[in-house]
Amino acid sequence: MAMAGLYRRLLPCPPAVDFASSQGKQLFLESIQNGTMEGFYRLVSYFQTQSEPAFCGLASLSMVLNALAIDPGRKWKGPWRWFDESMLDRCEPLEKIKVRGISFGKLVCLAHCAGAKVEAFHASHSSIDDFRKYVMKCSTSDDCHVISSYHRGALKQTGTGHFSPIGGYHVGKDMALILDVARFKYPPHWVPLTLLWEGMNYVDESTGQSRGFMLISRPHREPGMLYTLSCKHENWINIAKFLMDDVPFLLKSENVKDIHKVLSVIVTSLPSNFEEFIKWVAEIRRIEDAGSSLSVEEKARLAVKEEVLKQVQETRLFKHVASFLSNSCSRQIATSGDGDTLPVIAASVCCQGAEILGGKFSSPAGYCCQETCTKCWKAEDDKPITMVCGTVVNGNTEQRVDVLIPSSSEKLCCSCSSTTEYIRMHPASTDVLTVLLLSLPSTTWAGITDEQLLREIHGLVSTENLPTLLQEEVLHLRRQLHILKRCQEGKIDEDLGVPFS
């Protein structure tokens, strides 16, 4: 029997110009001479074909993230850390995307979650002049890239909604180079910017919003250097709802007169597993990968983490939280000085480390840490270093894991032998709770009626009063909290431009 199938499509020319045609080559050469193909080289180095008919958004994003050299922080295959479509599943299950594709807003959500800096615009809320400006900006630099979400109908192509990165721009002809990730269908091609803009103004029936474009760039430092939200945790959406919806209501309904009462209202109402929602990030490596010496990269990252921790512990809010938790009997929450014992934390972080090194996030319960030990020494620059070493077992396999733990320099003594002294050398619940409170939107506190208390609260939680590193850490967490909650509520496409305040 004959087998039906499609082998590519004839590219409608005009309006498009095939990149490999003589005219396409001429446009390419002229654009190089004008300096508007600078973003092309990195993109074409990581150009990929979408692996599923509906994975154009995921392929475009993974291609851009790899071009920007953003570390995904987890393995793809073998030992390699690499962005792949299969890893972009935080906002929508892959099986669902395989059937329906992904909306513009949820792709924006994924870009944020991956650690990129993102500016996103619905076409209905922007202008062709702004779009041209951003295309020009990224075409003259390799530090940013544009992904366009458009309807193929505007370009006389078959199909409907589609995503692809823009690889370059021809100023004289006002044409953009589309690096079409559906390479099984159409080759890379030049199109008039005005027609591409028309395609972005089509309404996506699944969201009721117009399509658009996003500008993706690499942040000047990796986000979430010490703290991150664990968005894979099964109850994270309930915790996010509690923090953003329930806490403001509780503070409004309770008669709060001082900081102690504010903390009491929040802490005594926290979901029992809130510690699973926000985590501190240690440096992890296999023991066979390196000895006790630290690489330059490890030292740099650990130094930043230690500085962030130090800045957290120097905030006035931290002092209030520490005082409240140490004196409160209403809730059993571990603090830096009491409940968080290093053996328990060591076993936990070693298991998390093995899980990350193995690229397996679905079954952490399968990991068991049989043995841990703590080493404390001074690096070449006389800075104290704390390392937890563990043997982690998963089924019939075991691996040795090192975890570099950030520590506050004022609280660390490398000659220490007492367990109680070791307890104070890591970010613990007091630090985590402090950062979580700092990350809440400023509107959280609006229901407090006592004006003097409200001023005091704003003084404690205002990001403007924070050092730069901690400010960036807090704003990243706030952005994660806002975007992921909106994403799960199906509202992410409505408010791409809403500031995270």
Q: Which residues participate in catalysis according to the annotation?
A: 56, 162, 180
- How many angstroms separate the CA atoms of 195 and 165, rounded? 16
Q: Calculate the alpha carbon distances from 51 to 62, 66, 157, 182, 183 in Å.
A: 12, 16, 20, 9, 10
- CA atoms within a 13 Å half-sphere pointing along the CA-CB vector of 379: 16
- How many angstroms separate the CA atoms of 274 and 257, rounded? 25
Where do we find the tokens 């049989």?
370
- How many angstroms separate the CA atoms of 474 and 316, rounded? 15
For residue 395, give both structure tokens: 């089924």
Nearest to 347, CA basis, from 392, 306, 312: 392
For strands 384-394 and 17-18, give the pairing.
unpaired
Run of H or E including 319: helix 316-327
Other Cβ atoms less than 10 A from the Cβ of 65: the count is 26
- How many angstroms separate the CA atoms of 498 and 501, rounded? 9
Other Cβ atoms less than 10 A from the Cβ of 464: the count is 6
Query: What are the DSSP E strand ranges found in 153-264?
Result: 161-170, 175-178, 189-192, 203-204, 209-210, 212-217, 227-229
For residue 179, give both structure tokens: 């690096």
Other Cβ atoms less than 10 A from the Cβ of 299: the count is 18
Run of H or E including 399: strand 397-405
